[in-house]
Structure 1
């Protein structure tokens, strides 16, 4: 699967993407709200190979897409099937050097359109750490609505964290 926007190409990860991807996943500021810590020299190749293997979306398989801008990987979009039919969870990570330039909005709009149009997905959700204000604003900008605000419901990195859930139905996207 490949998608393009005005500035980016979204495609499955390739082995040649390792150094670009490691450049942002090794950063503490990038991983602070993720379920894992920064990649290290010891675990980076294993973590990256998991992304490369997730290259075909289906009801049983997650898809990881590299976001390429000017022949460099600047981000990562994840699409995970949920336990409900025709429902997925999306996740996204971008190199901070590209923050505030509309790349996340642009790429997520293309992914959402693809999921609703091509894959006939019924519902898309995003689950995020409430401290990640930028991610919450992005969910709102792409038209998602807040469905849940859970207090200290998730144990991550030695602390209880608050979780937000945002959702978008196919009919809401086109209204």
Structure 2
């Protein structure tokens, strides 16, 4: 799938080094509730994701975001419990952030979720301190549905999460 400035495609195992470019950075993964990756972790994850099905609850579709022909980020759809629901995720290398690319990639991923996969509702779980990601959800027209207090641990400290969602008929 292509937009004006980027393209999205399913990941391949050879994307491991590119993903390491942002997944190894503490400032990027702090809101992903996981430690920074090393190369073996990246290789294992990308090998798994590149061959994973996307057919039922729990399955994850990870897309590489390409900007000017180079992998610069990721978008994710996770088949969620509940009828026709999915979770949206996205991350960009800081070198390309701040240009609206996350919003563009997330919008294209939402279109894919609603048109190709027939999801009815897509939501994003966001650490409330991740202001950039909250802005992306709001620019997409997603509605804030929940504010969860101390529902997860980030670096051993309780953190709050906000849930934004969009229905298929609301995508503009």
TM-score, length-scaled by structure 1: 0.91
Distance, in Å, in 1 between the alignment partners of 2:39 and 2:64 is 20
Runs of 4+ in 1 over 3 A off after TM superposition: none
Please tell me the root mean square deviation across aligned C-alpha atoms, in Å: 1.5
Aligned pair partner of 2:77 in 71, 79, 90? 79
Give CA deviations for 1:27-50 in whole Å, capped at 9, x if unaligned. 111111112111124533223323
Distance, in Å, in 1 between the alignment partners of 2:46 and 2:8 is 17
Secondary structure in 1 matching 2:56: coil
**Worse overlay, 134-143 or 44-53:** 44-53
- For residue 59 of structure 1, what is the aligned residue in structure 2? 56
Distance, in Å, in 2 between the alignment partners of 1:43 and 1:64 is 16
**Worse overlay, 58-67 or 139-148:** 58-67
TM-score, length-scaled by structure 2: 0.92
Deviation of 1:51 after TM superposition, in Å, equals: 2.8
Say yes or no: does 1:34 pair with 2:32: yes
Deviation of 1:10 after TM superposition, in Å, equals: 0.6
- For residue 104 of structure 1, what is the aligned residue in structure 2? 102
Q: Is the 8 A contact 2:12 2:47 kept in 1?
A: no
Give CA deviations for 1:42-80 in whole Å, capped at 9, x if unaligned. 5332233233233x4323321000011122110111100
- In structure 2, runs of 5+ residues without a counterpart are none
Q: Is the 8 A contact 2:33 2:153 kept in 1?
A: no
Distance, in Å, in 2 between the alignment partners of 1:45 and 1:37 is 15
Distance, in Å, in 1 between the alignment partners of 2:20 and 2:152 is 26
- For residue 43 of structure 1, what is the aligned residue in structure 2? 41
